[in-house]
Structure 1
Amino acid sequence: MASGTWEEFFAAHLPPPDFEDNRSLLKEFCERHDQYGNRIALVTSGGTTVPLEHNTVRFVDNFSAGTRGSASAEYFLEHGYAVIFMHRQKSLEPFTRHFSGQKLLDMLDIQERGPNTTITVKPDSVDVLAPILLRYKAAHSAGAILHVSFTTVSEYFWLLRAACECLTNLGPRAVLYLAAAVSDFYIPKDRVPTHKMQSASGAPVIQLQLVPKMLAPLVNLWVPEAYVVSFKLETDENLLVPKARAALDKYKHKMVVANLLQTRHHRVILVTPDETQEILLTREEVHAGVDIEASIVLELVRLHAEHLAPCGAPPAAPHGSLAPLAPHAPPTPRTPR
């Protein structure tokens, strides 16, 4: 079934219950960093769900865990950007991504002494944990990162539009790094049952509708001066670059990061209107646990600086430092869950 317009999508789906709280956080964050001339990267991360019931028990999902977005957010911070990290609830997040599962607990020791029980980091884990903890503390104490979370595709779009509204005053200093795996299909709200579907009723027949492409209003209306980067995931090498270039031709944004499902962790292709550039990790880099996102963000920062040069923007902050903030800037609160 053909998709409706983006206006019809928003008209048919109410904003999430915590939308106004999130919009206030976004507004305060963007205004504060805009005041000091900082650059802001909006990094979207993780997958969106499509509920099959209003009181949701079942939903359509995808495999995204937020690996690309959570790693990239760390590298934007290292390059002096403030970061809005818009992520799927319970997906990977910057800094804590390094300690998923039981890794963190394996680094700790406990000494039980009654009321004086202490927990310490094992000596052989200090060198691993300390630098990540330092970067985490620096980012949060400077108010350089804001977390906002979504679950469903409609929640994602409401937050994305709100973030764009707050970023528009930054003009070309805003980067939109749209790494979230957004559902291509959804079920219109008026066709979703209120309660859990009952198996006794037999197998359901579910008709999905195409999600409207939000890149068009985003690039043309919401943040027309921003440096917008989208992502293209394919399983067929022959489709990868042609579809990425077709997206650039259609939506007129700045870059598509193209990757194959099978090789996405060590190979990507950056497609811009002017060139196509492959980033490929060596076997040694893969075995050493090197993040390909470091190279992606490094090249993006270079291209963003070129984009800003005609505007007379100041050079980026030195590598490894945070964007300059007002003295004693308060840490930005996390989004209520």
Structure 2
Amino acid sequence: MASHWEEFYSTHLPPTDFEDNRKLLKEFCERHNKAGQRVVLITSGGTTVPLEHNTVRFVDNFSAGTRGAASAEYFLEHGYAVIFLHRLKSLEPFTRHFTGQKFMDMLELHERGPSTTITVKPDCVDIVAPILARYKAAQEAGRILYVTFTTVSDYFWLLRASCECLAQFETKALLYLAAAVSDFYIPSSELPTHKIQSGAGAPTISLQLVPKLLAPLVSLWVPHAYVVSFKLETDESILITKARDSMNKYKHKLVIGNILQTRRNRVVFVTPENNYEIVLTREQLLSGMEIEDTIVSNIIESHTEFIAQHKY
């Protein structure tokens, strides 16, 4: 009998651009593996659950992709190659600093007859220049690959394809699973083809549990990788227990727990041996410090120890 996750793959088609993305993943991983590079797969943003095949309505997950996008920048600073598997139109590294009208307000338009030039306002150069420099350095070195998903099915197919390419890195692969993955879905076979009509009255929608991919990921797809998952809760009293339960069930290396209301300034690291907090003070937050900087530094330190312990 097929497992829950195998059944999901057998009943849901891959995204239309799947083969193109798989080729990009394969080329990216082969190049960086030959160079002896460490690589991190960062998943970021929320998945959707369509209510129709020709999707007009869908159930979404709360996530702007802030943690994943910020973390990608810090992993790049530490020399990692980055696969950034993210929700389409969610926040991305570097451009996340200029959301909405903020970037347009930093520009000046100069019209001189037939020619027009655009410049960055002098008082904004010190803000834009270092971010642009880091972006250009990552792009020119080919150290970041952007791959997008929308639905939970897209995410499943692209996550497995990423893991298949990452397996060759063995202990040098790090998985940073920060995406907000739907817990429930409607099987493809039960979706109506066209838009649900309101004239028929309120629909009855039956949701099923989404398979937990941590199980095959840790035991089958990338058994030698350093795997980090996240646990978001709204109830402080169950956070450590839920994180510890996940750790014990899937046998990966680290669960990072956070509470919805305080996720910007406090997280809890839960390891097989212990748990400890990372907290930013109000002064640190006001100075512009991001908790992802400390999160990534701590993870890289643990990843380095992990690699050293598993040298053959």
Give the Å deviation of 1:312.
Answer: 4.2
Residue 330 of structure 1 corresponds to none
Residue 61 of structure 1 corresponds to 60
Residue 332 of structure 1 corresponds to none
For these two proteins, the number of residue pairs brought into alignment is 311
In structure 2, list runs of 5 or more residues that go unmatched.
none
Please state if 1:255 is matched with 2:254.
yes
Q: In 2, distance between residues paired with 1:196 and 1:256? A: 39
Give the Å deviation of 1:115.
Answer: 2.3
Q: In 2, distance between residues paired with 1:116 and 1:309? A: 58
Q: In 2, distance between residues paired with 1:117 and 1:130? A: 22
Residue 320 of structure 1 corresponds to none
Residue 129 of structure 1 corresponds to 128
Q: In 2, distance between residues paired with 1:68 and 1:98? A: 13
Q: 1:39-188 to 2 correspondence within 5 Å? A: 39-188=38-187
In structure 1, list runs of 5 or more residues that go unmatched.
314-337
Q: Structure 1 residue runs of 4+, over 2 Å off?
A: 310-313
Please state if 1:207 is matched with 2:199.
no
Give the Å deviation of 1:62.
Answer: 1.5
Residue 34 of structure 1 corresponds to 33
Give the Å deviation of 1:116.
Answer: 0.9
Q: In 2, distance between residues paired with 1:277 and 1:90? A: 33
Residue 24 of structure 1 corresponds to 23
Give the Å deviation of 1:125.
Answer: 0.2
The DSSP-based 3-state class of the residue aligned with 2:109 is strand
The DSSP-based 3-state class of the residue aligned with 2:114 is helix
Q: In 2, distance between residues paired with 1:213 and 1:11? A: 16
Give the Å deviation of 1:139.
Answer: 0.1
Give the Å deviation of 1:44.
Answer: 0.3
Q: In 2, distance between residues paired with 1:209 and 1:312? A: 42
Q: In 1, distance between residues paired with 2:58 and 2:310? A: 45
When structure 1 is superposed on structure 2, of 108-117 and 91-100 the one drifting more is 108-117
Q: In 2, distance between residues paired with 1:27 and 1:184? A: 29
RMSD: 1.1
Q: In 1, distance between residues paired with 2:288 and 2:178? A: 21
Give the Å deviation of 1:140.
Answer: 0.3
Q: In 2, distance between residues paired with 1:119 and 1:285? A: 35
Give the Å deviation of 1:285.
Answer: 1.1
Q: In 2, distance between residues paired with 1:274 and 1:135? A: 36
The DSSP-based 3-state class of the residue aligned with 1:111 is strand
Residue 281 of structure 2 corresponds to 282
TM-score, normalising length: structure 1: 0.91
Letter in 2 for 1:157: F
